[in-house]
Amino acid sequence: MGIGGVPIGIGGFLILLLFSWLTGMPITQLLNSGQSEPSSTGTSGQVATSPAEERQVDFVDAVMKDVQDSWHARLSQYQPTRAVLFRDAIQSACGFAQSATGPFYCPQDEKVYLDLGFFDELQKRFGASGEFARAYVLAHEVGHHIQRLTGVEQRVRSAQRAQPGAVNAMSVLLELQADCYAGVWGHVAAQPGRSAHGQVELEPGDAEDGLRAAAAIGDDRLQRMSTGHVAPDRFTHGTSAQRVEWFRRGLADGDPAACDTFAAARGTR
């Protein structure tokens, strides 16, 4: 038992009981003192200790709210997800994750996880700068949440278990569809006049930031950076060209139906 996450002994607990009786303040409120409430749009709270980090939290809040509002309008069964911000490492329902893991969506608890240092890495290591490059990453992870809600993610995981040799190929199609879903939101954000209503609005050059981000984290580019050569059989997210192509499709059409990477792979569309 503890206050604000700090353990207390039985003596401390008895003192709290006495204080509760004298003041009329509920014991649960005393035990929870020092803990901040999570943001209504899903960031974890308790993460911002510097002005720079606070700006990142505010940015994530704004983008997550806008992306999810856009999906609420398109998907009748939409249920909100949350963005959990962390430093260095975290234990999620999908297991232990470190900052090197990068942003990810955990289907088991239906949450988006993002290390606070990733945005700096996106700019400094991968050369993808600009706010929309960051927004693209968040919209991509929410895209995985859409796949979870629509049953696509479950069907792909079942198919991967049945066809172990096709695990990576199916993973690529799943990731490219999430890129396209990010583009669908980008199309919505590009509509003029949205900022007047307190919503995120793309400015000239923002879409290019997103396209650069998609290109920067293609499997082929990342493999060249880490090993000096490309191994297509190990692709899990798609090449830079593929990621740009599918993000651009969503951006152009604004229609989730244009994001069926699986039908495209079968040659049925």
pLDDT tens, 118-148?
888 887 877 766 788 889 999 999 999 999 9
Parent domain of 16: 2-31
In this structure, are 98 and 230 located in the same domain?
Answer: yes
In this structure, are 12 and 132 located in the same domain?
Answer: no
> At 264, which helix (H) or strand (E)?
helix 261-266
Phi, psi (deg, nearest 5) at residue 149: -70, -35
Average of per-residue pLDDT across 182-188: 93
In this structure, are 15 and 93 located in the same domain?
Answer: no
Any domain includes 159: yes
Q: How many domains does the chain have?
A: 2
Q: CA 197 to CA 201: how far, in whole Å?
A: 10
In this structure, are 85 and 209 located in the same domain?
Answer: yes
In this structure, are 201 and 110 located in the same domain?
Answer: yes
How many other CB atoms are there within 10 angstroms of residue 174's CB atom?
Answer: 22
In this structure, are 22 and 56 located in the same domain?
Answer: no
In this structure, are 145 and 237 located in the same domain?
Answer: yes
Poorest-confidence range of 157-171, 183-197, 234-248? 183-197
pLDDT at 108 over 80: yes
In this structure, are 62 and 7 located in the same domain?
Answer: no
Alpha helices by DSSP H, listed for 126-218, are 131-150, 152-162, 167-189, 206-216
Any domain includes 40: no
In this structure, are 15 and 129 located in the same domain?
Answer: no
State CA 185 to chain mean position distance.
13
In this structure, are 57 and 23 located in the same domain?
Answer: no
pTM for the model: 0.79
- With a CB cutoff of 8 Å and minimum separation 6, the contacts of 226 are none
In this structure, are 195 and 256 located in the same domain?
Answer: yes
In this structure, are 56 and 23 located in the same domain?
Answer: no
